[in-house]
Amino acid sequence: MLNISGLNSTYFYNSSPLRHKNPVDTARAGENSVNFGTVGHVSSPFSAMPSFGASKVRTSLSNNDEKNKYNTVTSKLDKKTKKVLNELLKTGKLLDSSSNDKSTTLDNLYKIATTPRVAGLNSEKLLAEVINKIQYPYSITQKFGDIPAKLQQEMVDSENNATNRKISVSDLDVHSSTCPAASIEFNLAHKMPAEFARIADGLSSEQMSVTKKLKLDELSQNTVDIIWMLNEFNIPHKLESWNDLTVELKPDRNAIVRARVQNTYYDAGERSPLDVLMQSTFMNVGAQNTYNSLTDKRIPKYNDDDGGLTDIEKNFAEEMVTGKGRVCVTYQKIEYTDDPNSQNGKLVGYECKPQETLQHITDTLKGGDNVIIGYIYTDEANNVIGGHEITITGIEKGKDGKKYFVCNDTDDGIDAPIKYPVDEFLPKIHHAGIPLNVLEGKVEFVDGWRELMQYYKESKTASRAA
């Protein structure tokens, strides 16, 4: 039986090489050690309709209020985007109400079109952007835009005057580590269009925040642990009743700086202003409100890496954003030694058989959810040299008879799904966020994550005092 414990689930994976060694050696001597090369992938045409929830799909405007909102939104769009809006109506995405407050995608598009946006952003551009990302979620990217040279020094001076974290112009040129946040953004657009639009409205509004109402019995941890996590992660929250929790999600203070740059100086293939606001928010939630959009860095609290999120942090952010309970399952055993060639750990085995991992993913997909997974790549000696977060959206059988994972990768520069052979990719999967109901009765739960997080905090405090 697979043992789910945080004690082997804290290694960070993003699109950059891993840099720091976990201070806790938690891996056990494993099963067969294997060597992986880079993962090959091909783009794949994809036309499957995403599921939006249990409510009946509506494809026609049913009352004057909806017709008036539709006409108002349409009046703000160019000819091309009007056609996209009509497609959203035909497919049921426009009147989807799978949002946190039961508002429809149309309701939230109307708010974007008719209420003020935060200074420096164009409401009509944002409106078109939301519409297009819901229709084409595979266009979402994590690639940072460049900041024009004439603006760089002014930004650096402003940041250095406002914070003790001194930066230089070179710190503004970053390679994105926001793949966990971009994957969460993709999932919202792909599976929860009304909620995607609602969050887009809130984050681009003058308040630059969004409130979520969560049901405690739908989250992965008990009430005491959820409240503990909210306090640890510095998330504004209020316990409304024994089962009702309200949280506030917002980007870091420099997100608007990056978003304004993209509003004026956007280049093809870069993040849009909305990508900036969403990814900054989700990174900030996972990084205990210490993320800095200018440098793509955070203040590490539970490890030594100032880039990206650990898998536990990503899992927490995903729960807060979607309201759906996720269990962070670690499938690989990573061993840490003093060998300088394995400073990021060495793959020594697995926590369960590949077929069990596949079953968890398959059952999650059958339940209507995507699966955000973290995978690793190694050298010939199985030393971990890097990793990345992507989203599995389906499983298909190819013409060659093999099964393929259909995936979205926000860092591959491809505005379409990609496919990986299941048998080749399964051994590379380090962790995944799996719904609690998929795992109940199949795994043994061990709440080691809290102890490990506390260990990191105490270790870092002790090292600073020494």
DSSP sequence for 174-217: -----HHHHHHHHHHHHH-HHHHHHHHHHHHBTT--EEEEEEGG
| Cα–Cα dist 211/186, whole Å | 20
Examine the pLDDT at 23 and tell me if it is beyond 50.
Answer: no
How many alpha carbons fall within 13 Å on the CB side of residue 451? 9
Torsion over CA of 93, 98, 99 and 102, rounded to 10 degrees?
110
Using DSSP bridges, classify how beta strands 443-446 and 244-249 pair: parallel, antiparallel or unpaired: unpaired
Q: Mind listing the pLDDT tens digit for each residue in 375-418?
A: 998 999 999 988 899 999 999 999 999 999 999 999 999 999 99
- Give SS3 for 164: coil
Examine the pLDDT at 128 and tell me if it is beyond 90.
Answer: yes
List Cα–Cα distances, 120 to 102, 108, 117, 260, in angstroms.
29, 20, 8, 6
The token duo for 100 is 């946190």
Residue 430 DSSP class: E
Using DSSP bridges, classify how beta strands 429-435 and 326-330 pair: parallel, antiparallel or unpaired: antiparallel
Q: What is the pLDDT of residue 12?
A: 33
- Burial track 45-62 (b if 16+ CB lie within 10 A, e otherwise): eeeeebebbeeeeeeebe
Q: In what order do the strands lie in the sheet with 384-397?
A: 42-43, 418-421, 403-408, 384-397, 371-378, 429-435, 326-330
Q: Mind listing the pLDDT tens digit for each residue in 223-280?
A: 988 998 999 999 999 999 999 999 999 999 999 999 999 999 999 999 999 999 999 9
Contact 315, 286 (CB under 8 A): no
- Give SS3 for 297: strand
pTM value is 0.88
Q: Mind listing the pLDDT tens digit for each residue in 104-127?
A: 999 999 999 999 999 999 999 999
Q: pLDDT higher for 448 or 414?
A: 414
Q: Which of 283-287, 338-342, 402-406 has the lowest mean pLDDT?
A: 338-342
| pLDDT level of residue 465 (50, 70, 90 thresholds) | low
Q: Mind listing the pLDDT tens digit for each residue in 343-360?
A: 778 999 998 899 999 999
Examine the pLDDT at 39 and tell me if it is beyond 60.
Answer: no
Torsion over CA of 65, 68, 70 and 73, rounded to 10 degrees?
-130
Contact 99, 195 (CB under 8 A): yes
Examine the pLDDT at 13 and tell me if it is beyond 60.
Answer: no
Residues with Cβ within 8 Å of residue 37, at least 6 apart in sequence: 377
Q: What is the pLDDT of residue 450?
A: 61
Residues with Cβ within 8 Å of residue 327, at least 6 apart in sequence: 4, 220, 315, 433, 434, 435, 436, 439, 445
| pLDDT level of residue 445 (50, 70, 90 thresholds) | low
Average predicted confidence (pLDDT) for the chain:
86
Specify burial of residue 291 (Cβ count, 10 A radius: 0-12, 13-18, 19+): buried
Q: What is the pLDDT of residue 442?
A: 74
Specify burial of residue 369 (Cβ count, 10 A radius: 0-12, 13-18, 19+): buried
Q: Which of 138-147, 199-208, 302-311 has the lowest mean pLDDT?
A: 302-311
| pLDDT level of residue 21 (50, 70, 90 thresholds) | very low
Examine the pLDDT at 52 and tell me if it is beyond 90.
Answer: no
DSSP sequence for 329-371: EE-EEEE--S-GGGTT-EEEEESS-HHHHHHHHHHHHHTT--E
Q: Mind listing the pLDDT tens digit for each residue in 178-222?
A: 999 999 999 999 999 999 999 999 999 999 999 999 999 999 888
CB atoms near residue 75 (< 10 Å)? 9
Helix segments in 341-447, DSSP class H: 354-366, 422-425, 436-439
Cα angle at 143 between 123 and 198, to 5 degrees?
Answer: 35
Amino acid symbol at 416? A
Radius of gyration of the chain (CA): 22
Residues 71-86: what's their mean pLDDT?
A: 98
List Cα–Cα distances, 325 to 164, 369, 393, 432, in angstroms.
36, 12, 18, 13
Identify which of 17, 98, 19, 27 has the alpha carbon closest to the alpha carbon of residue 369.
98
Amino acid symbol at 267? D
Q: What is the pLDDT of residue 165?
A: 81
Cα angle at 408 between 277 and 325, to 5 degrees?
Answer: 70
Examine the pLDDT at 463 and tell me if it is beyond 60.
Answer: no
Q: What is the pLDDT of residue 85?
A: 98
Identify which of 416, 420, 418, 419 has the alpha carbon closest to the alpha carbon of residue 138.
416
Q: State what percent of residues in the chain have pLDDT above 90.
A: 69
| pLDDT level of residue 457 (50, 70, 90 thresholds) | low
Residues with Cβ within 8 Å of residue 399, at least 6 apart in sequence: none
Specify burial of residue 397 (Cβ count, 10 A radius: 0-12, 13-18, 19+): exposed
Identify which of 404, 378, 403 has the alpha carbon closest to the alpha carbon of residue 34.
378
Examine the pLDDT at 41 and tell me if it is beyond 90.
Answer: no
